[in-house]
């Protein structure tokens, strides 16, 4: 069997932490192979080769290699096309798309350069597993170089709807790029339905009896593989985490949110909803505290600067209206907090507030459940637009745009009797266990190994889909 080659935007640091990184690390430790990603340092030199970043360990089970970006490429490929075009298109925020021709040109150029670097490393039986929207055209570029190896893809974010896709320059490329992978994995059945709709609208696609899609002679398998977490590891970390950081708040009054500071996470709506709940709370003597940890993210992109200002303003308004000398109702922590402490806070909280406007899956929802004490669990309030909501039907589901509905859900969750909390928790925990990260990785790779191989005829006529 050949090696596994994982391609993702980031390669892990020496001590990998976090579900996805650990899962991929474990798979590579077992199978050996390569992990290729972008060097976080901007560098003008050495862009014509991959650089070894493997651990100092003398006999690493797998190697980590990075490709370098110069300042222009980082601006146009990463901040530009990936995060200011594809990210908003996939998260239904086409109003935030920044369209510039140099973004697309460098996105394609970086993917082409990476394809050449990877092609040099590839053995005939190696399998590639490519992650996320930074590398949509990578398989097309590899095929144009004559690569026939099996290539799998996993999209971590929502699959866009067909109207939003049409905002892209040359939207027909999207289907072409995907069709050059052997396997395209998506988070949910809803994502798969949207992807099928895109192929149905394209006359080049033919739907085969075995469920595969034939597109320009290439056969593509499509499926949903809901991602999960390391449930046991999260539960242990939550028990170790410091929960005293909440300060003197009664456990039944603690509400927690933890998100990257991103406009897709619905933070302004969530803050307003908490303010609305305080306006209407049934018992005026009740003093719940909502702690929102918002890890800084992509601060160089303008839409992110704007949301940071907006959140500071709303939290100022809510606290200005309701704080007492001994009570600050909304605590916004605009910093990354150690993971164990975030999980410790989740375990202590009565309510987890996870209300993205759009989200591929949302791992915080699964982590909140895994962190709970099964005898006295907290309540998850979950946006119906998070991928996690497709299976976690027993969370208290809300429309994240509807501030009144979230406020009502907060009131309901804070008053929920123990029996109902247990019942809802057990149903959610079952989903969290059945999609745990090791199972997810195994399902994706098993399916990739079963995919129809790429034929010589396909690559010999290959159009470069750019």
Surface-to-core class of residue 243, CB atoms within 10 Å of its CB (0-12 exposed, 13-18 middle, 19+ buried): middle
Sheet with 51-52, side-by-side order of all strands:
51-52, 62-69, 33-42, 4-7, 127-131, 151-154, 183-186, 218-224, 213-215, 205-207
Site membership for ligand ADQ, residue 336 (CB under 6 A): yes
Of 4, 147, 151, 363, the one binding ligand ADQ by CB under 6 A: 363
**In the complex, minimum distance from the CB of residue 383 to ligand ADQ, in angstroms, rounded to a whole number:** 11
Nearer to ligand ADQ, 140 or 383 (CB): 383
Nearer to ligand ADQ, 20 or 69 (CB): 20
Surface-to-core class of residue 205, CB atoms within 10 Å of its CB (0-12 exposed, 13-18 middle, 19+ buried): middle
Site membership for ligand ADQ, residue 47 (CB under 6 A): no
Site membership for ligand ADQ, residue 372 (CB under 6 A): no
Question: CA-CA distance, 137 to 106, in Å (whole number)?
Answer: 12
- Determine the longest span between alpha carbons in the chain, in angstroms: 74
Query: Which range binds ligand ADQ by CB under 6 A, 120-128, 277-285, 361-369, 436-444?
Result: 361-369
Query: Which range binds ligand ADQ by CB under 6 A, 17-25, 46-54, 139-147, 213-221?
Result: 17-25
- 132 flagged as catalytic: no
Sign of torsion over alpha carbons 419, 424, 425, 429: positive
Nearer to ligand ADQ, 142 or 186 (CB): 186
Q: How many positions of this chain bind ligand ADQ (CB under 6 A)?
A: 23
Helix, coil or strand: residue 122: coil
Query: Which range binds ligand ADQ by CB under 6 A, 198-206, 314-322, 335-343, 396-404?
Result: 335-343
Nearer to ligand ADQ, 175 or 386 (CB): 386
Token couple for 446:
């098993």
Site membership for ligand ADQ, residue 342 (CB under 6 A): yes
Touching ligand ADQ, residues 97-156 (CB under 6 A): 156
Of 168, 361, 414, 465, the one binding ligand ADQ by CB under 6 A: 361
180, 341, 359, 391: the active-site residue = 359
Question: CA-CA distance, 344 to 237, in Å (whole number)?
Answer: 7
- Cα 311 to Cα 109, 261, 316: the distances in Å are 37, 10, 8
- 279 flagged as catalytic: no
Report long-range pairs for 38-45 (Cβ below 8 Å, ≥24 apart). 38/9, 38/10, 38/66, 38/67, 38/68, 38/69, 38/78, 38/134, 39/66, 39/67, 39/68, 39/69, 40/10, 41/68, 42/69, 42/70, 42/71, 42/74, 43/68, 43/69, 43/70, 44/70, 44/71
Site membership for ligand ADQ, residue 88 (CB under 6 A): no
Site membership for ligand ADQ, residue 184 (CB under 6 A): no
Site membership for ligand ADQ, residue 86 (CB under 6 A): no
Touching ligand ADQ, residues 228-287 (CB under 6 A): 258-260
69, containing H or E segment = strand 62-69
Query: Which range binds ligand ADQ by CB under 6 A, 240-248, 302-310, 358-366, 396-404?
Result: 358-366
**In the complex, minimum distance from the CB of residue 295 to ligand ADQ, in angstroms, rounded to a whole number:** 3
Nearer to ligand ADQ, 205 or 295 (CB): 295
Question: CA-CA distance, 391 to 360, in Å (whole number)?
Answer: 13
Site membership for ligand ADQ, residue 20 (CB under 6 A): yes
Site membership for ligand ADQ, residue 359 (CB under 6 A): yes
- 445 with 237: CB under 8 angstroms? no
Helix, coil or strand: residue 359: strand
Site membership for ligand ADQ, residue 443 (CB under 6 A): no
Of 93, 239, 339, 447, the one binding ligand ADQ by CB under 6 A: 339
Residues 6+ apart with CB under 8 A from 174: 136, 165, 168, 198
Question: CA-CA distance, 37 to 40, in Å (whole number)?
Answer: 9
Nearer to ligand ADQ, 142 or 184 (CB): 184
Q: Give the x-and-dash track for 289-318 against ligand ADQ (CB under 6 A).
A: ----xxx-----------------------
φ, ψ of residue 2 to 5 degrees: the values are -75, 180
Closest CA to 71 of 96, 100, 45, 51: 45
25, 91, 156, 458: the active-site residue = 156
| E strands, 355-401, in order | 379-383, 396-398
**In the complex, minimum distance from the CB of residue 243 to ligand ADQ, in angstroms, rounded to a whole number:** 15
Site membership for ligand ADQ, residue 18 (CB under 6 A): yes
Of 22, 23, 237, 364, the one binding ligand ADQ by CB under 6 A: 364
The upper half-sphere exposure of residue 199, i.e. CA atoms within 13 Å in the direction of its Cβ, equals 25
Nearer to ligand ADQ, 164 or 367 (CB): 367
Query: What is the set of active-site residues?
Result: 156, 359
Give the interface with ligand ADQ as residue ranges (CB under 6 A).
Answer: 18-20, 156-157, 227, 258-260, 293-295, 336-337, 339, 342, 359-364, 367
């Amino acid at each position: 069997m050949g090696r596994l080659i994982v391609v993702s935007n980031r390669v892990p640091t020496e001590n990998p932490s976090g579900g996805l990184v650990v899962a991929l690390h474990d798979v590579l430790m077992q199978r050996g192979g390569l992990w290729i990603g972008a060097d976080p340092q901007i560098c003008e030199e050495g862009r014509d080769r991959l650089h070894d970043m493997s651990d100092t360990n003398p006999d690493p089970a797998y190697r980590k290699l990075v490709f370098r970006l110069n300042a222009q490429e980082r601006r146009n490929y990463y901040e530009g096309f990936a995060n200011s075009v594809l990210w908003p298109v996939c998260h239904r925020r086409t109003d935030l798309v920044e369209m510039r021709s140099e973004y697309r040109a460098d996105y394609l150029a970086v993917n082409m350069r990476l394809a050449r670097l990877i092609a040099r490393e590839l053995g005939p039986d190696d399998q590639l597993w490519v992650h996320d929207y930074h590398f949509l055209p990578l398989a097309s570029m590899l095929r144009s170089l004559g690569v026939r190896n099996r290539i799998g893809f996993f999209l971590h974010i929502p699959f866009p709807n067909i109207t939003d896709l049409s905002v892209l320059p040359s939207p027909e490329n999207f289907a072409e790029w995907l069709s050059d992978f052997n396997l395209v994995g998506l988070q949910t059945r809803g994502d798969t339905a949207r992807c099928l709709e895109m192929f149905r609208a394209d006359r080049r696609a033919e739907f085969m009896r075995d469920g595969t899609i034939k597109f320009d002679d290439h056969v593509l398998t499509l499926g949903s593989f809901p991602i999960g977490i390391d449930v046991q590891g999260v539960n242990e970390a939550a028990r170790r985490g410091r929960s005293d950081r909440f300060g003197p708040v009664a456990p039944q009054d603690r509400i927690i949110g933890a998100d990257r500071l991103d406009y897709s996470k619905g933070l302004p709506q969530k803050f307003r909803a908490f303010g609305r709940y305080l306006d209407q709370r049934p018992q005026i003597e009740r003093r719940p505290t909502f702690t929102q940890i918002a890890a800084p993210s992509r601060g160089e992109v303008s839409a992110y600067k704007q949301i940071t200002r907006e959140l500071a303003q709303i939290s100022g308004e809510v606290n200005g209206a309701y704080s007492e000398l001994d009570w600050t109702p909304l605590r916004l922590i605009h910093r990354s907090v150690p993971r164990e402490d975030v999980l410790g806070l989740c375990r202590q909280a009565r309510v987890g507030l996870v209300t993205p406007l759009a989200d591929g899956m949302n791992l915080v929802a699964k982590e909140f459940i895994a962190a709970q004490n099964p005898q006295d669990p907290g309540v998850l309030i979950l946006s119906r637009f998070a991928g996690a909501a497709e299976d976690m039907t027993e969370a208290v589901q809300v429309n994240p745009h509807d501030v009144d509905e979230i406020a009502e859900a907060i009131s309901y969750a804070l008053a929920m009797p123990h029996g109902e909390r247990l019942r809802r928790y057990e149903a959610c925990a079952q989903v969290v266990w059945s999609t745990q990260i090791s199972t997810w990785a195994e399902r994706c790779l098993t399916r990739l190994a079963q995919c129809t191989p790429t034929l010589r005829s396909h690559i010999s006529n290959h159009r470069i889909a750019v």
